[in-house]
Amino acid sequence: MPLVATGEIVGAAARAGLGAGAFNVIQIEHAQAIVAGAEAAGAPVILQISENAVRYHGALAAIGRATVEVARAARVPVAVHLDHATGPELVREAVDLGFGSVMFDASALDYDGNVAATAEVAAGCHAHGVWVEAELGEVGGKDGVHAPGARTDPAEAAAYVSATGVDALAVAVGTSHAMVVKAAVVDLPLVAALRAAVPVPLVLHGSSGVPESDLTRAVEAGLTKVNIATHLNVAYTRAIRDHLAGHPEVVDPRKYVAAARDAVAREVTRLLKLVRATP
Ligand code: G3H
Ligand code: ZN
């Protein structure tokens, strides 16, 4: 199955009223695990690399190329996406590497600044056939400070999409990034109001903090792309801790990283089933 365009996966999910799972890649093993989990679920999936992960590696090229190659070898449709890019240079690099989409995150700017910067990036990406997600109404937690109170206004969101030409919109509806407890409350009436007002698919960020049954409800209410990172990090790290505790003699990282990769694959299969549960 070839690497596919992100818009194909998200568009098909939106038309069917299903969620499209988008999971963050830090190391190559995450890409392998996410694809294995999607293959087990028989579902398409989006691999995304955040600007923070790029900072960890020191550059996008190596992890980006590896992720694209893992996607190309998959037995289900897989798209590769740049997540939370705050500068146009990284966006250009992702486009050159063959990513199908980017999220340009100018949500820390005021409304006019966000519109101007995002419209410029969107025009440049569209000239290369690349799908663009942007954010309005900053979802908290990116700096470690949880701010589940932020909300995106439906009328402003509709105006923003028309002014920027973006293909999908990340909205603030009660979640916050990097939560390790499932205590976020998704504002479902707001999701429905945004769905009615905004003509492009909506994206849920900070999904790790959402109780699992609410993930299905959030999709039913109108969210399509569901971004999950921290939940996988919890599974990955727990598997390594457990493996090392049970095998104190182990020194070969392949032993415990393989255990973590398997754990992440199982979680991806389960989460994809939750976001793709038929209403
Ligand atoms: O962009 C990535 C996501 O919004 C992931 O958030 O780490 O809270 O699941 P999370
Ligand atoms: Zn996010």
| pLDDT tens column, 92-151 | 999 999 999 999 999 999 999 999 999 999 999 999 999 999 999 888 888 777 777 899
Question: What is the pLDDT of the chain when averaged over all its residues?
Answer: 96
Cα→Cα distances 81→67, 69, 162, 260, Å: 10, 13, 22, 23
Of the candidate CATH numbers 3.20.20.70, 3.40.50.2300, 3.40.720.10, 2.40.30.20, the domain formed by 6-275 belongs to: 3.20.20.70
Quote the ligand 2 centre to 28 CA distance (angstroms). Answer: 20
Whose alpha carbon is nearest atom 4 of ligand 1?
A: 205
pTM to 2 decimal places: 0.97
Question: Contact 47/34 with Cβ under 8 angstroms?
Answer: yes
Span 66-83, mean pLDDT? 98
Residue 252 — pLDDT band, cuts 50, 70, 90?
Answer: very high
- Would you say residue 279 has pLDDT above 70? no
Window from 87-91, 109-113, 134-138, 155-159 with minimum mean pLDDT:
134-138
Quote the ligand 2 centre to 15 CA distance (angstroms). Answer: 23
Question: Contact 68/94 with Cβ under 8 angstroms?
Answer: no
Does ligand 1 lie within 6 Å of residue 176's CB atom? no
Ligand at shortest distance from the CA of 226? 1
- Would you say residue 175 has pLDDT above 70? yes
Does ligand 1 lie within 6 Å of residue 179's CB atom? yes
- Residue among 6, 23, 24 whose CB has most ligand 1 atoms within 8 A, to mutate: 24
Instruction: Give the max Cα distance, the chain.
Output: 60
Task: Establish whether 83 is a catalytic residue.
Answer: yes
SS (H, E, C) 57-77: HCCCHHHHHHHHHHHHCCCCC
Window from 59-63, 147-151, 204-208, 228-232 with minimum mean pLDDT:
147-151
Q: One of 83, 153, 167, 214 is an active-site residue; which one?
A: 83
Containing 102, the helix (H) or strand (E) segment is strand 101-104
Q: Which SS3 state, helix, strand or coil, does residue 134 take?
A: strand
DSSP β-bridge partners for residue 79? 46
Question: Contact 137/151 with Cβ under 8 angstroms?
Answer: yes
Does ligand 1 lie within 6 Å of residue 232's CB atom? no
Handedness of CA 144, 83, 218, 195 (dihedral sign): positive
Asked whether residue 146 is marked as a ligand-binding residue, the answer is: no
Residue 42 — pLDDT band, cuts 50, 70, 90?
Answer: very high
Q: Which atom of ligand 1 is nearest to the CA of 231?
A: 9
Quote the ligand 1 centre to 198 CA distance (angstroms). Answer: 22
Q: Which atom of ligand 1 is nearest to the CA of 141?
A: 8
Specify the length of the chain in residues. 279
Query: 45-50 and 202-204 as β-strands: parallel, antiparallel, unpaired?
Result: unpaired
Asked whether residue 30 is marked as a ligand-binding residue, the answer is: no
Residue 278 — pLDDT band, cuts 50, 70, 90?
Answer: confident
Q: Give the DSSP letter of residue 3.
A: B
Q: Contacts by 150-159 with C-beta closer than 8 Å and gap 24+? A: 151/187, 151/190, 152/190, 152/194, 154/190, 154/193, 154/194, 154/196, 154/197, 154/198, 155/197, 156/111, 157/194, 157/197, 157/198, 158/197, 158/198, 158/199
Span 33-46, mean pLDDT? 98
Residues in Cβ contact with 255 at an 8 Å cutoff, skipping those fewer than 6 apart = 243, 247
Does ligand 1 lie within 6 Å of residue 103's CB atom? no
Quote the ligand 1 centre to 108 CA distance (angstroms). Answer: 17
Whose alpha carbon is nearest atom 2 of ligand 1?
A: 227
pLDDT at 1: 63
Quote the ligand 1 centre to 25 CA distance (angstroms). Answer: 11
- Would you say residue 272 has pLDDT above 90? yes
Reported as a single tens digit per residue, the pLDDT across 202-218 is 999 999 999 999 999 99
